[in-house]
Structures are given as C-alpha cells and as structure tokens.
Amino acid sequence: MVAEDFKSVLREKRVFRPSKSFSRHSDIKSHAEYKKIYNYSVKNPEKFWAEKALQLDWFKKWKKVLVKKGDFYKWFAGGKINIAYNCLDRHIKAGNGNKIALIWESEDGKTREYTYSELLKEVSRFSNVLKSNGLRKKDRVCIYMPMIPELAIAMLSCARAGIIHSVVFGGFSSDSLRDRILDCRAKLVITSDGSYRNGKIIPLKQNADMAAEKCGFVKKVIVVKRCGNKVKMKKGRDLWWHQQMSKKGIKDEFPAVSMEAENPLFILYTSGTTGKPKGVLHTQAGYLLFVYQTFRWVFDIKDDDVYWCTADIGWITGHSYIVYGPLSCGATSLMYEGSPIYPRPNRFWKIVDRHKVTIFYTAPTAIRALMKEGNKWPNSCSLKSLRLLGTVGEPINPEAWIWYYNLIGKKRCPIVDTWWQTETGGILITPLPGATPLKPGSATFPFPGIVAAVLKENGKRAKPDEGGELVIRKPWPGMLSTVWRNDKRYKETYFGKFRHIYLAGDTARYDKDGYFWIMGRSDDVIKVSGHRIGSAEVESHIVSHKAVAESAVVPIPDPIKGQAIYAFVVLKKGVERNDKLRQEIINHVANHMGHIAKPEKMQFVDDLPKTRSGKIMRRVLKAIAEGKEDVGNITTLADPSVVDKLKEGRVK
Ligand code: 7RM
C-alpha cells in the first residue's frame, strides 16, 4: 500500500460488520445482544460470573463468589478445583478423549499430535516424575524451554500436582533466568539441550547451567533432548526428560490435586516502571474461568475449529491462549516452534493451509514484518480455511489492519483486536466477532463483566476523544492476585494512582461511539515487537558496563517492531567515545537481558537533561530521539543549554 492509500484509509471512517452467516453461527449474534449481556454483567457481576463458573468442573463448590480485602480480591472462596483437570479429564469424561488437543509443528517441518487422552497420559506421567523428584504442592519450578509440546506438558503437570510454574521465555539470557529463579526460589528447572531458530541451535542448557550454578536451592534440572547437541550433565543434579518419563514406577495416572480456588497457579515475570521485573501471580479458579470464557466468546470457538496462536508460551499470551484457554474449552490448539520466515516468508501461510487453521491469532509486529515481504507470499497460499483473525500486543496501525483483513482474511474474516496484559490474565477490551462492528485500530468494547474507563489526572472521567489513563473500575476473575511475595508493590503499582481503581499503565481514549482506542504505555515501559521491556532495567544494564556513568533510554517508533530502544549514555571521565565501545555496550545489554532488549541506537552525551531536583526529563529525550525540533517546555531544566547539544549529536 502506498502512502496515499493509507491516508484514504484513515480518512475513510469505514466500519466493518460481521457477515450474516458469521453472526448466525456465533454465541453472541449482534451488538444489541452484546449490550444486553454487558449491562446485566456489570449490574450483577457476581451473579454473572457464578453462572459462568457452573460450566467448570469443581471438586467442591465455592462459598462466596468474591471476597474483598482492601485492594486484594479472592474469587470463588471456599471452592476446590484443578485447572489441569478442567483442561484434560473433563473433556475425556465427556467422551472427547480422541479429539486432537495439541498439534505441534517443528521448525524443520515435522508434526506431532496429541489427543486429549494422550496428553493426559503424558501430563500425568510427568506429574509423577515431579513428585518422584521430591516436589510438593506450592513448590516452584522454572521452565526455560523452546516451543515444544513438553513445555505445555510441563506446565499442565505442575498445575495438576499443585506446583507453581514460572515459565521464562527461551529468548532471555542466563542472567534474566537466574533473577527469576532467585526471586521465586525454584527447586527445579526444566529446560532442553537446545532450541531451533532460523535453522540454528540456541544452547538453552548452557544458559540454564549458568543461571542454576549460583542458586544452591535448585536441586534438579530436567533436560528434554530436542536438538541432540552436546551438553554437560551435572551428576546428581541433571536428569534427562525421556529417562525420567520411562523410569520404573512412573505410572500413567496421577489424580489431580484438589486445590483451593485461590491457590497459586503460576508466576510470570513482567517489566514495569521501576526496578526488577514483577512476579505476577495468577491463581487456579479465577484465572481458569476467565481464560475459558474469554476464549469461548472472543474466538467464537466451535467443535471443528483448528486454532493457532503464534505467540511464545514464555509470554502471557501463550499461557492463556495457547495452553489454558483453548484446552479448558476442549479446542484443538496448534503450536509452532520456529521463526515466521523460515525457510521462507510464507511459513505462516503454509502452516495455515497444511493444518487447515480456522482461527489465527498473532501480533501487529508479525503482521508488519510479513507485510513487508510482499503480497506474493500470502497470495501463493489458499488460506481458505480461515474464518477469524486476531491481534494482540500493541496498537495495530490501520494500514496493517487493512492488509491483514484483505490479504489474509480475504475480506471474509472478522478481526478481533484484543487488549489485555500479563496482569489481567485474559482479554479485557475486544470485539466479539459475530456482534461487533469493527473500526480498524480500535480494540472496541469491554468484555462482559469488565468496567473500563479513561480518567484524567484529577481522577475525573475524560470526555470522548480527550484521552487519559486507562483504568478498570471493578475486579474481574482473571486479575492478578498479587505480585509474588510483594503485596506492597501490587498495591502501589496498580492501585496507587486512583483509589481502589486498577491502573493499566496505558493511555487511551474512547470516541463518540464509545469505541476504545489504546494509544500506548503511559509509564516507562517500551514495547519492542510487542514484548514488554522496562526502561529502568535496560538502563541499569547499560550502567553496569565499566565505561558507563549514566544512562537513559526511550522508545522510538520502528516500522516493524512498533517501538525500538534509543539509549543516551554518559561515559565515565577520560573514556574515549568510539563505535567499538558503542557496540560493546549494546552487546553487553543483549548478553545480560537477551536480544529483544538491545538498544537500536546509542548516543554518547556529556549530560542528561535534568530538572533542578535531579529528575531526568524523559519527555525531552523522547522528543530528541524522535528528531523533533520542538521538545516542549524546558524551563524547569537545571541547564536548558544541554538540549541543543543533545539535538546535534542525535543518531539518525
Ligand atoms: C497481552 C500482552 C501489555 C501491554 C498493554 C498495552 C499493550 C496489548 C494491545 C495493546 C493496544 C492491543 N501482555 N497491548 N494488547 N495495545 N492494543 N490490542 O501483550 O503484559 O506483555 O503487555 O501491551 O500497552 O499494557 S503484556
């Protein structure tokens, strides 16, 4: 699409309505019906959620739907349940044991499939392996794995046994893994010898070794043989997955542990404004209900659908919408191991055709990257199995939306632009595909039960198109229960700005028709390819380099990644500035945090713009990094003359 077309798309206020045949077969068939359900749900939230919760299989029914203590909420108090039981046994009991639960495609094109019965068997065996290695209810396990079925199996096995899992994205460095192991005190780490990406092997086990070495409380490391590359196995600590699974006494059955509704299920670390990543804690019942209900309605799931979410399970999207959401609904979920462009840029579309994928859920960054490769790639595939598309992770620019709609969905598939966060557990603002008239770039309306609003600094509701902080006014079942062992941080981060109201950390507006438009983060979080990176974290890694005195990083727009990182660096006295050092500092960050946190550009500066009280004015740095002439009001700067020098040295 050329620039002119793009402008016409923006000018054209077209609304895209679901086709009659799509609506007819959906659970929620019209916008009017949505509004009716929505109004009921927010007038009687506890009744609404309790009715939905009856669809799940409980070991013991709850006593109270919601118990509130300050800003902490307990859902389904007194109830007993197990999420893995609801994802597996429940469907087998209903006669669906032979339905395909997971389809896996490896980067080199191999396929493995598991029926619900087969998956239950693997999960139960691995729960037994965990138990035989001394793990007990509420212990923590870190999972550092590529996108292979054993990853999903490991998560479900933990859940079945009441063990808390913490999945660490395989693209993270050994330092990041170590920080997470330390924070949650994991007794056991599950990894693999390696991971394939673009045809190359990434040595995961080596990273896991470096991380575990410094953590004496890690008693065992279980290793899946994936690539067959050579790895060192530490005696007494390291065990092969396949040997453990086939060892004597490991049975195919493992009764799911009856868990209190509010018992922890998993910890997932995510970046915030300050300091180290937060361990977002989700619990068994509320999380399960929320991913179940959102998956059903947002993806309009039918018995014969083949659903594919391209996220990595190392992020919340994979937890909720590759594993727990689809499996709790008894759906067929596809999981792909490798790169979207390997061996060629039509890989995604080939997978869609090969497995007859009907629902496809991906991120704007992937859409933009594939769009750049040209139309011939999707046009060389049929894509006729598709009936619904989704996007998540960052705002989708209308240009990418239209391309996705026309070239992938062939103008036939609704697009659900789903807004949510690690903390929210599942989707909060989203179209319902058979009901909602779509506007490209808008996440449209809140899901039933969700009370979203846009507030101004003074806490008053913003007017249409005015913009402000996105907040959620009422609790919902999928919300985080706390920050792992840090209730204070939970309260300060999410309920510190407006009393008793959940602060999302995004700026947003709603238009005259009530559509929500998410504009981006309001805090110092940078979204690189849809992944959350805390600026404070990148800065502390830059500063940990011996040549660096001080640093500040800001986001710059990037046509593919959405945002990239621009770093301002003050070197120590007497250190010479050169390109070699610049590269060295950039690599230093990549080694310590992982590749996604790598600054795209780095500018050496004498001083950072600071207020008289010593606060770095990021707003000014952001304007400079973006190449703006006007950097706004600088009267509060201690030394306004730094601005011109910063402008001169800008890295283009
Ligand atoms: C699911 C996920 C959360 C942040 C969130 C937003 C941004 C996510 C959308 C979006 C605009 C969307 N979890 N975000 N989805 N912005 N439209 N549909 O991404 O914890 O990693 O990030 O992502 O800024 O606060 S996350």
Closest residue CA from atom 12 of ligand 1: 419
The preferred substitution site among 527, 529, 535 for testing ligand 1, maximizing ligand atoms within 8 Å of CB, is 527
Number of H helices, E strands in the chain: 23, 30
What is the per-residue pLDDT for 1? 31
- DSSP one-letter code for 276: S
What is the C-alpha to C-alpha distance for residues 133 and 129, in angstroms, rounded to an integer? 6
What is the per-residue pLDDT for 614? 80
For ligand 1, whether the C-beta of 521 sits within 6 Å is yes
Distance 527 CA to ligand 1 centre (A): 8
Task: Evaluate whether 337 touches 148 at the Cβ level (below 8 Å).
Answer: yes
Distance 278 CA to ligand 1 centre (A): 16
Amino acid identity of 622? K
Q: What is the mean pLDDT of each run of 10 residues along the chain (652 residues)?
A: 41 82 96 98 98 98 98 98 98 98 97 98 98 98 98 98 97 94 97 94 95 94 97 97 97 98 97 85 98 98 98 97 98 96 96 98 95 95 98 93 97 98 98 97 97 97 95 98 97 96 96 94 92 91 93 95 96 94 96 93 94 86 94 88 93 92
Q: Which atom of ligand 1 is nearest to the CA of 391?
A: 18
What is the per-residue pLDDT for 6? 42
Task: Evaluate whether 246 touches 126 at the Cβ level (below 8 Å).
Answer: no
For ligand 1, whether the C-beta of 443 sits within 6 Å is yes
For ligand 1, whether the C-beta of 605 sits within 6 Å is no
Q: Which atom of ligand 1 is nearest to the CA of 525?
A: 24
Say how far residue 435 (Cα) sits from the centre of its chain. 26
Closest residue CA from atom 10 of ligand 1: 394
Closest residue CA from atom 6 of ligand 1: 394
Q: Which atom of ligand 1 is nearest to the CA of 422?
A: 20
Closest residue CA from atom 16 of ligand 1: 394
The preferred substitution site among 419, 483, 533, 535 for testing ligand 1, maximizing ligand atoms within 8 Å of CB, is 419
The preferred substitution site among 298, 421, 563 for testing ligand 1, maximizing ligand atoms within 8 Å of CB, is 421
The residues that bridge with 562 in the sheet, in sequence order, are 528, 558
Distance 280 CA to ligand 1 centre (A): 15
Distance 201 CA to ligand 1 centre (A): 30
What is the per-residue pLDDT for 8? 45
For ligand 1, whether the C-beta of 417 sits within 6 Å is yes
SS3 string, 45-91, reads HHHHHHHHHCCCCCCECCCEEEEEECCEEEEEECCEECHHHHHCHHH
Distance 370 CA to ligand 1 centre (A): 20
